[in-house]
Amino acid sequence: MHRRDFLRLAGFGLVGASTLAATPPAPMKHWAWMRGGWKDMDDWKRSLAALRAIGMDAVLVGGNADFYRACVPPARDEGVEVHAWQFIMMRGEHVQAHPEWYAVNRKGVSTAEKPPYVNYYRFMCPSREEVREALRVAVRELASVEGLAGVHLDYIRYPDVILPVALWSKYGIVQDKEYPEYDYCYCGVCRERFKRRSGQDPLGLADPPAHAGWLQYRYDTITEVVGLLADEVHARNKRVTAAVFPTPAIARSLVRQDWTRWKVDAILPMVYHAFYKENVAWIERATREGVVALRGRIPLYSGLYVPDLPPADLAEAARRALAGGAQGISVFQGNTLTPEHRSALAEVLNARG
């Protein structure tokens, strides 16, 4: 038997050339978070055309299903994908009807009565079936909108048990360890579920922040919610993405996001250097940490915080993100870019191959 015939019989013949060649890199893609600010649909189309001109491919926009039904068709005309940007665990809308759905801290105080840090920080408990079902229903409705590219999960986490270091002075606090008033969730459902899993009551632990099993329980509850919502989105042939804290280690320790394990199609870490008192060069290191941890399973797009990036720094931040292995960037926010930001960014993004 000729070698070629043998390879074909073995299933190698027809695909041999492509499997021997290096896997082609996935195409670059660039994103912008967007919040309102346009007067009408013509204005919306103009703002999308301006983003397209500097090399942007997708926008993440907040709204309800009716809003997306109106704004998706014009965006498609402009060649820009629309993803439904949604706050997930932080939702105040059920606080009147279902205060018991809200997360409770280690002092026994619910975010329904007294949210931490700011009055809108009303996080729900991710362990509760009713919460999960309400989120599934909300996401299902959005994912049913024709032409929408995907659903983007934001605030898919616990409240910050420790805030990014640059915010401590803003709130007049020092968070050198996990303090009970910022540590969630110790509601009856969480305590019962953890007891079933480990035999222990989290409130009875000698040192809850140091307990690996209790930490893991909370990583897992968020990961489970992501999986449930991803199933809803995927069942409607849409993609699901998430905004997360900047590196896998920071995300786990500050907000209990174990995002390298999530069932999403892409991840958008908020690599907001100044929040962590870091410089622009850190964006490359932080990006690489995420890319390495994901091992090529899904693409990572580095989120850049425009208010802390003058135009030349924004361009440098984008270069750093790409050098760190990101498949693209996402700017917060697309509608706040100045003309100088746009031209600085265009040079980097439009230079792609």
Q: How far is the CB of 21 from Zn ion (least distance, A)?
A: 50
Site for Zn ion in 167-226 (CB under 5 A): 185, 187, 190
Closest to Zn ion by CB, 184 or 332: 184
Q: How far is the CB of 44 from Zn ion (least distance, A)?
A: 39
Spatial distance between the Cα atoms of 276 and 270, rounded to a whole number of angstroms: 11
| Phi, psi (degrees; rounded to nearest 5) at 220 | -65, -35
Closest to Zn ion by CB, 37 or 188: 188
Closest to Zn ion by CB, 48 or 185: 185
Q: Which of 105, 111, 127, 241 binds Zn ion (CB under 5 A)?
A: 127
Q: How far is the CB of 11 from Zn ion (least distance, A)?
A: 51
Dihedral angle of Cα 313, 319, 324, 329, to the nearest 10 degrees:
90
Q: How far is the CB of 179 from Zn ion (least distance, A)?
A: 18
Q: Is the peptide bond between 190 and the residue preceding it cis, with omega within 30 degrees of 0?
A: no
Number of H helices, E strands in the chain: 12, 8
89 binds Zn ion (CB under 5 A): no
Q: How far is the CB of 87 from Zn ion (least distance, A)?
A: 18
Stretch that binds Zn ion, among 86-94, 127-135, 303-311, 322-330 (CB under 5 A): 127-135
Tell me which H or E stretch contains 322: helix 311-323
Number of residues that bind Zn ion (CB under 5 A): 5
Handedness of CA 286, 289, 293, 296 (dihedral sign): positive
Q: Which amino acid is at 59?
A: V
Closest to Zn ion by CB, 184 or 272: 184
Closest to Zn ion by CB, 114 or 277: 114
Nearest 5°: the CA angle 131, 132, 134 is 65
Residue 336 Cα distances to 57, 248, 305, angstroms: 17, 28, 11
Closest to Zn ion by CB, 104 or 142: 104
CB 344 within 8 A of CB 280: no
Stretch that binds Zn ion, among 14-22, 118-126, 129-137, 217-225 (CB under 5 A): 118-126
125 binds Zn ion (CB under 5 A): yes
| Residues pairing with 82 in the sheet | 59
| Phi, psi (degrees; rounded to nearest 5) at 332 | -115, 110
Q: How far is the CB of 88 from Zn ion (least distance, A)?
A: 15
**Interacting residues toward Zn ion by CB under 5 A:** 125, 127, 185, 187, 190
